[in-house]
Amino acid sequence: MKNIITSLSVAIVLFVSCSPSTEKKEKKVDSTEIKENSVSTPAPVKDTTSKSEVPGDLSSLVPVDLLDSKSTNVYEKYGLEFSGNCYSCDLASLSVTKKKIIWTNVCDEKDTFEINDFSFTNEGNKTILKTPEGTYIVTKIDKAPVYEVVLEGQKLEMKNKRISRYFTTKKALSLFKEHDCGDFEG
């Protein structure tokens, strides 16, 4: 009797393993493979944006200086350059739009220097401004935001508009520890 039950059990197992439900499982596996093979992986894309878009932050940048290089707090690390903003008033703020680069004296908004002949490209956290005289590379180096401006090529001769190495947005300036001239009346 045990041999009959064992033989019958083996026969049932073999019969069940050959059932149509197993074929359906195999078909599902095949269709999954087809789906996996038909999904194309996108080609690596360089992180560039359209040439017609200047990052909004660049429309109103004000100069800051590296005050404490050892600080880990960005709002204490950078701040207002006292001499150029409060004493000699020879620093330039920067504004970039689709049509113009404008350098403006920090103490006199009427004292400007405009560049109309330029092109720009965006590459990740960098905006590259190319003029006939040189190239300005504006790199966002911190989320605060803090930008570093590097000039490659001929230095512009601008009276009372010295170009700082670091900039931040006008609206973010008040977040920095050193953000105004205080009581200085020089």
List the chain domain ranges. Answer: 2-38, 56-175
| Percent of the chain that is helix, strand, coil (3-state, to 5) | 30, 30, 40
Strands (E), the chain: 61-66, 78-79, 92-96, 101-105, 108-115, 119-123, 126-130, 134-142, 146-153, 166-169
pTM: 0.68
* pLDDT-derived band at 139, boundaries 50, 70, 90: very high
Six token digits for residue 17? 């393993």
Residue 149 β-bridge partners = 138
Helix (H, G, I), strand (E, B) or coil at 105: strand
What does the pLDDT read at residue 35? 43
Residue pLDDT, tens place only, 66-121:
999 999 999 999 988 767 777 688 899 999 998 999 999 988 899 999 999 999 99
Helix (H, G, I), strand (E, B) or coil at 134: strand
Phi-psi region of 124 (alpha: psi -120 to 50; beta: other; left: phi over 0): left
Polymer length in residues for the chain: 186
